[in-house]
Structure 1
């Protein structure tokens, strides 16, 4: 769910993961108008998690979209696990509840999930760091390459002087 929150905040086109979440939980894909209230709150909460900042944005998201805990097995396809919104719920409420709970777990130190902010100059995107040693610094290979090339060119200019 943290990955879905990051995808929404980054404004990415719907991914297979996003489509699968909606289909699996019998939730309609919300339109941009429906997400207008949620995305700014979500952006603040993701930024707080990525920057190890104040917990207030996460608490505000939890307040506006309070999780409703249920145990689900996805029609007996998998083992029991917790959900923080009911299947088939209104899309924005389902997203808000699910993402709020996921980000609350992350800001409280969930060791399996780390959210970061891209370190490339001028990039405002976030990412979920699922690397083995949690050392990821960029949202994409494009940003990593652009930063590496810029550093190389700066070193070459300094050496030429």
Structure 2
């Protein structure tokens, strides 16, 4: 796994967590690869406000305080891993087998710090649909994604169409 993919996948994991999505294949794979159990709901609930603030800081290009607070509370533990020899060497930000909430906090905080600083080619965005508070990873070629899902994009397009036709003279 290249460093870029690792950071991008951790940013995806952070977005998935703050959006409250059901556990994805990515999340399950991360936990299996790193010998992490699913965090219990109470520990995850403790972590989510700080993680949400950090994701919002990345999506909004600052302020940096939420990321620094998360990094201060959960400092990354850097080491090089190859996942048992099946991948190229890359940095990890937390030790395998660590407590789930701590592993998530360390890993996601470090990845979000990299993304906020422009490294690597990962963009976190905030959905532009009215009434939607979700975030998304923009991996489009020209970094122009505006919505978290096709549902929000369609709803916004239909609302704009209706508004244009409602105000048009008949």
TM-score over 0.5 for the pair = yes
Q: Taking structure 2 as the reference length, what is the TM-score of the superposition?
A: 0.93
Alpha-carbon distance in structure 2 between the residues aligned to 1:123 and 1:101:
26
Aligned counterpart, 2:33: 24
TM superposition shift of 1:158: 1.1
Structure 1 residue 34 displacement after superposition = 1.4
Q: Does residue 5 of the first structure (1) align with residue 5 of the second (2)?
A: no
Does 1:89 pair with 2:98?
yes
Give the match's secondary structure for 2:168: helix
2:77 equivalent in structure 1: 68
Superposition deviation, residue 152 in structure 1:
0.3
Alignment of 1:157 with 2:169, yes or no, is no
8 Å CA contact retained: 2:114, 2:120: no
Residue 33 of structure 1 aligns to a residue whose secondary structure is: helix
In the TM superposition, structure 1's runs of 4+ consecutive aligned residues that sit over 3 Å from their partners are none
TM-score by length of 1: 0.98
- What SS does the corresponding residue of 1:37 show, helix, strand or coil? helix
- The one of 131, 142, 152 equivalent to 1:133 is 142
* Aligned mate of 2:123, from 99, 104, 114: 114
Gaps of 5+ in 2: 1-9
Gaps of 5+ in 1: none
Give distance in 1, aligned partners of 2:23 and 2:41: 12
Please give the root-mean-square deviation of Cα atoms over the aligned residues, in Å: 0.8
Matched, 1:14 2:32: no
For 2:165, what is the secondary structure of its paired residue?
Answer: helix
CA distance in 2, matches of 1:62, 1:18: 21
